[in-house]
Amino acid sequence: MKFLVLLIVLGCFFTESSAKNIVFGECDPCVKDDGSDCDEIEMHPVANVSVNPCHNKDGGACQLKMGESYTIGLDFTAPLDTESLKAWVGASLYGMEMPWVTFRDYDACDPTMGGITCPMTKGNVQHYRYTMNVAGYPLMPVTVIWRLYQPGKSWGMMNPDAAPVCIKMELILVDEYDE
């Protein structure tokens, strides 16, 4: 029995050790019609972004191998009160935002699809996790955009509270890991 417990503990340790906090950026800042910055909500609520597993050479962008699954994690402080959030994932290719083909908008509050506690209260810490399979994309570096948004509202620079959590991260889609 003690051996089984030790194996489980070691398994958890080694599984967690492959998750890496990665460098990320916030999405475009909000600007009002008069050109001033938005101050209605906190514009930088994300504290941490992780990819598990993350294979990277010399601390660079995580490599995602075709056909494998990865868990993306966002830890953030809720910038506003909202009843629900949905998730949208896309890629910035040659300056254009395009939806991630195999990813469909879904309820980020569903415990099996992200696990955010909803209704969400401003100031509460949230831990979002989503596991996805990578398949059917060109092998190349890509800027991934992960947006959590309020259903029924259009997001954009003039309406930042519609998508209060938005990050960009660099990933590399590969056939084989570059060791």
Q: Where are the domains of the chain?
A: 19-174
* Neighbour-count burial of 3, counting CB atoms closer than 10 A to its CB (0-12 exposed, 13-18 middle, 19+ buried): exposed
| pLDDT tens-place string over residues 5-53 | 322 232 333 334 467 888 888 776 555 555 555 554 455 688 899 999 9
pLDDT, position 73 = 93
Indicate the Cα dihedral angle 37, 73, 18, 134, nearest 10°. -100
pLDDT, position 9 = 30
CA gap 149, 166 in Å, rounded = 8
> For the chain, which residues score pLDDT lower than 50?
1-17, 40-41
Please report the DSSP string for 53-115 in residue order.
S-B-STT-SEEEETT-EEEEEEEEE--S-BS--EEEEEEEETTEEEE-TT---EETTSTTTT-
Q: Which of 136, 150, 47, 168 is nearest to 105 (CA)?
A: 150
Backbone angles phi, psi at 17, to 5 degrees: -70, -20
Options 2.102.10.10, 2.60.40.770, 3.40.50.2300, 1.10.579.10; CATH for 19-174 is: 2.60.40.770
